[in-house]
Structure 1
Amino acid sequence: MKKRLLGALATLAAALLPAHADEPQKPQKPKSVSFLKQKSIADTPGGPKEQLRRYGIDADVWVTQFFQGIAAGGNSGVSRYGGKLDAFLKIDAEKLGLWQGLRVSAQYEQYFGRNINNKDYALLPVNAAQAFIANDNYHSALSLVVSQQLSKELSISAGKFNLMTVAAQTPLIGGGGLETFMNRAFALPSTGIGVASPGTLADRLIVSPPYILGGVATLKTQLATFTLIVADPRNAQNPRVLERPFERGVGVVGGVTAPVQILGLHGFHTLRGGYSNARGFDLDDSDDLRARLASRQPVTKKGFWLASYAVQQYLVQDPDNPDVGWGLFGLATLSDGNPNPVRWSMLAGLAGNNLLPGRADDKWGVGFFHYGLTQPLLSGLAQRGLYRRSEGGVEAFYNWAVTPWLRLTGDLQVVEPWNALRPRETVMALRLQTKF
């Protein structure tokens, strides 16, 4: 155990410290991978990253830049440039000789520049990657998850989860806003167990926090994969969540994912149900809010629930690599509608890889979404002169892999914003991602 740990430290020191001039230089092996074919800029054959992976340490740094503007609609002509840095660290303690089945994952995010999320009159952020890490909100974020493999079938994880990074692992549709769709409707679908937390208006109204504090149990069988999530329903970016976890309640989400093959093509069907005993604003009493506040009557309602069904089905797959292909995806949700502000939602589309010769690393997608806001919320806002409606739109993107470590994306969104007094908006963006 000590030898493997010392070996990992020696490898890291060799990567950071310059070699002594008097030391004999070992003959370098010829490179077997072209610089333009490497997974990342620093991932050279036989280099420090490859050496560290042998000891169970995997580190990556991504820098994603955005130039996004409103081409038509409200605030037409407004554009913003900004981006975020993502640093990932994964440690396999078993390879280090420390503990069998133990893994640690950390992610640090740093925001820079500006974004148009508060300039477009839409409820759902059109740039999910920058929606919750911003100058006027939280400037950076750190997520940390510890996982233990109890058997080949059962594993448990606990910590602070970045749900956008979790969503990025979803087949076809992806998530997170860094490589596939940018609108939050696709990048971070609703879980239905969140409660109001400090932040932007979109953060307060949409019912799934981007970060949660809690635990996940996963059981994989031949027939299906079962998951159980127990979490604090508040946004874990709020320091109070870490200081006093679960003081406002607990959220529980259970799900089952079953693989299905149609004509030899892989597909996945997922059913989820969630409940939280936290309190949210009672939307049915929004018209009497002032009177209730004056009489000190409660204005909250206890309990949230949500159910959802998701499908991903490949229509075309690479026979040599089943993970490469394209197909259809869909998601439908239904909630209690009070205190959940979103009664129902749905999204559907096509996405995947470009299977033309030499372009399998390219990604593309086109999708439609609609968030049906609950009627008590819309009626209560209308009585105060705030005319709102359910929000929907379409998005299309093409992610061109210039190299495996350099990706350029063109993105187009047409959104019918929830502000009923604003016209339909057309939002265009360029996204450049560099992996170091």
Structure 2
Amino acid sequence: MHRAGVTSEKKAIAAASFLVVGLTSAAFAEDAKSSLLKQGSLTDTPDGPKAQLRKIGIMPDVWITQIYQGEIAGDASKTWRYGGKLDAFLKVDAHKLGLWQGLHLNAQYEHYFGRTINNTDLTLLPVSAAQAFVQRDGYHSALSIAVTQDFGESFSIGAGKVNTMTLASQTPLIGGGGVETFMNRAFAAPATGIGVTSPGTLADRVVVSPTYTLGATATLKTQVGKFTLAVADPRNAQNSRVIENPFERGVVVSGTATIPIDVSGLRGYHTVRGAYSNARGFDLDDIQGLRRRLVGGASVTKKGYWFISYALQQYLFQSSDDPSIGWGLFSLITLTDGNPNPVKWTVLGGLAGNNLLPGRELDRWGVGYFHYGLSESLLSGLAASGVYRRSESGVEAFYNYAVTPWLRLTADLQIIDPWYATTSRATFAALRMQTKF
């Protein structure tokens, strides 16, 4: 019995050792920086396959985010769901591959698993943005590909299908794309003004802007700031028709200026954005027309809409060793025409960033408030039809604990006044685990 136990123990140890070797693809180095607990991803070992690929300009990453979320108080309480998504990223530097200078390719593949509480929560904005656009009852997966050509260090042009939530994840302080920081769409995928509610898109929950867009950008970097001009299709690029027949229903032109301004030596970013489209959306002064459209009849549409916004990220504390690590204030204010845009204005703000306590600098935290002011034309029109809605607002707080750089656990809490006017305030809780391979 004893020898059998020893044999079983040896087999278990051998199996575990084989698994670790397979994941890291190399033996552990003595240097602490190369240890399993400190490397950037689970498989990013010194001189391992990922390191070798980076030398020739190929940079792959795979993230798996698991989410367990439910409503602990409210009219739909005791509803809990487990699910998540897989993100596979590929960046290619053509010059390192022996091709021409300045050409870059970025690809992202997403796939859902499990279930989500979205669409069962009576809220207008998804409480889990990461699961809102790739899910069992909608699009099962998504592929985004964009190509960028740099002309020196100051100017670049790019084109393709992009995930705007992934782009938003790069925003200082607030960024995270729903898988690292805030979970509610109000924070994870802020309004861009690209899309508007129009025939054929209602099922996509396109409130202010689609998450997937098809278009092109030109970016200029100067000593004053960064300036971007973009042209995009206003529809959700998940729809195959957008790829097959781009811009058949109109175009959006937008301009963005980001100006860095330091205050007392602390980094700050001010971003102003404006957009205009010649696309048509539902005329919200004709709600009866909208109702006819939903049952297969004709509806009245309105051509053209505009959008402007101002965003601020201001660090209040920064690490003396790494200025990109710190915490501070963020805010965003948007304004639209209110018709055909269903959201007249939005505001969000709060505090977010890193935990600056020694040894916990990789931890991220945040607390924020948002309000989506719905168009009066929409609200009054719905009320006249016996459908009672209201503007939606809420608060969210999270703490992202970095077990290792590649394994993160997040606790999240949201308290929301849903847009269903007859429902009570709802409280949502979630646990999220992200693993970077």
Instruction: Please give the TM-score of this superposition, normalised by the length of structure 1.
Output: 0.91
What is the rounded CA distance, in whole Å, between the counterparts of 2:402 and 2:260 in structure 1? 29
Offset of 1:29 from its aligned partner?
A: 8.9
Aligned to 1:79: 80
Report what 1:239 is aligned to.
240
Matches within 5 A, 1:243-392: 243-287=244-288, 299-392=300-393
CA distance in 2, matches of 1:123, 1:248: 25
| 1:57-136 matches, cutoff 5 A | 57-136=58-137
Decide whether the 8 Å contact of 2:146 with 2:161 is kept in 1.
yes
Q: Does 1:215 align with 2:213?
A: no
Report the Cα distance in structure 2 between the residues aligned to 1:265 and 1:288, rounded to whole angstroms. Answer: 52
Structure 2 contact 330–350 (Cα < 8 Å) conserved: yes
Shift of 1:193: 2.5
Is the 1:287–1:383 Cα contact (8 Å) retained in structure 2?
A: no
- Alpha-carbon RMSD across the aligned residues, in angstroms, is 2.0
Residue 151 (structure 2) aligns with: 150
Whether contact under 8 Å (1:248, 1:279) holds in the other structure is: yes
Number of residue pairs matched? Answer: 409
Cα separation, 1, equivalents of 2:82 and 2:294: 42
Cα distance per residue 1:39-89 (max 9 Å; x no partner): 111101110000110111100000000000000001111000000000000
Which residue type is aligned with residue 319 of structure 2?
Answer: D
Once residues 197 and 53 of structure 1 are traced to their aligned partners in structure 2, the CA distance between those partners, rounded to angstroms, is 45
- How far apart, in 1, do the equivalents of 2:336 and 2:354 lie? 33
In 2, Cα distance between equivalents of 1:430 and 1:269: 32
* Secondary structure in structure 1 of the residue aligned to 2:165: helix
Change (3 A) 1:100 1:286: same
Contact 1:193 1:304 (8 Å CA) reproduced: no
Provide the C-alpha distance between the structure 1 equivalents of 2:246 and 2:226, rounded to a whole number of angstroms.
Answer: 28
Partner of 1:190: 191
Paired residues of 1:192 and 1:306 also in contact (CA < 8 A):
yes
Name the SS for the 1:367 alignment partner. Answer: strand
Write the distance in 1 (CA, Å) between the matches of 2:384 and 2:75: 23
- Is the Cα contact below 8 Å between 2:158 and 2:216 reproduced in 1? yes
Once the 2 structures are TM-superposed, how far is the Cα of residue 287 of structure 1 from its aligned partner?
4.7
Paired with 2:428 and 2:201, the residues of 1 have a C-alpha distance of 23
Deviation of residue 129 (structure 1)?
0.2
The answer as to whether partners of 1:169 and 1:175 remain within 8 angstroms in 2 is yes
Q: Which amino acid in structure 1 is aligned with residue 330 of structure 2? A: F
Cα distance change of structure 1 residues 162 and 56 upon mapping to structure 2, 3 Å threshold: same
Distance in 2, Cα, partners of 1:43 & 1:382:
56
TM superposition shift of 1:197: 6.3
Q: Which amino acid aligns with 1:369?
A: F
> CA shift at 1:285, angstroms?
2.1
8 Å CA contact retained: 2:94, 2:102: yes
Q: Is residue 224 from structure 1 mapped to residue 225 from structure 2 by the alignment?
A: yes
> For the Cα contact (< 8 Å) 1:416–1:425, is it kept in 2?
yes
Matched residue SS, 2:37:
helix
Cα distance in structure 2, aligned partners of 1:30 and 1:115: 41
**1: CA distance, partners of 2:182 / 2:322:** 23
Bigger drift between 380-389 and 41-50 goes to 380-389
In structure 2, C-alpha distance between the alignment counterparts of 1:272 and 1:92, rounded to whole Å? 30
- 8 Å CA contact 1:175, 1:186 repeated in 2: no
Deviates more, 1:177-186 or 1:149-158: 149-158
Q: Distance in 2 between matches of 1:143 and 1:190?
A: 20
The residue aligned with 1:36 is 37
Q: CA deviation at 1:298?
A: 6.0
| Cα 1:43/1:178, change in 2 over 3 Å | same
**Corresponding residue for residue 205 of structure 2:** 203
Find the aligned partners of 1:187 and 1:300 in 2 and give their Cα distance. Answer: 30
Whether the 8 Å contact between 1:153 and 1:221 is mirrored in structure 2 is yes
Q: Deviations over 1:346-367 (max 9, x none)?
A: 0000000000010000000000
CA distance in 1, matches of 2:217, 2:267: 25
Q: Which residue identity lines up with residue 73 of structure 2 in the other structure?
A: A
Evaluate the alpha carbon distance shift between residue 293 and residue 166 of structure 1 in structure 2; reply closer, same or farther with a 3 A threshold.
closer
Tell me, yes or no, if the aligned pair for 1:83 and 1:130 is still in contact at 8 Å.
yes
Q: How far off is 1:262 after superposition?
A: 0.5
Structure-2 change in CA distance of 1:31 and 1:244 (3 Å): farther
Relative distance call for 1:28 and 1:337 in structure 2 (3 A) is closer
Rounded Cα–Cα distance in structure 1 between residues aligned with 2:103 and 2:127: 37
For the residue of structure 2 that corresponds to 1:269, the secondary structure is: strand
2:173 and 2:352 in contact (8 A); partners too: yes
Q: Secondary structure at the match of 1:428?
A: strand
Conservation of the 8 A alpha-carbon contact between 2:37 and 2:404: yes
Tell me how far apart the structure 2 counterparts of residues 62 and 425 of structure 1 sit (CA, whole Å): 30
Deviation of 1:293 after TM superposition, in Å, equals 11
SS in 2 for 1:323: coil
**Is the Cα contact below 8 Å between 1:393 and 1:416 reproduced in 2?**
yes
How many angstroms apart in 2 are the aligned matches of 1:172 and 1:290?
41
Choose 31-40 or 112-121, whichever is displaced more: 31-40
Q: 1:30 to 1:239 in 2, by over 3 A?
A: same
- 1:286: Cα distance to partner? 1.9
Contact in 2 for aligned 1:198/1:238 (Cα 8 Å): no
**Partner Cα distance (1:284, 1:57) in 2:** 52
Gaps of 5+ in 2: 1-25
Identity value in percent: 65
Whether contact under 8 Å (1:347, 1:367) holds in the other structure is yes
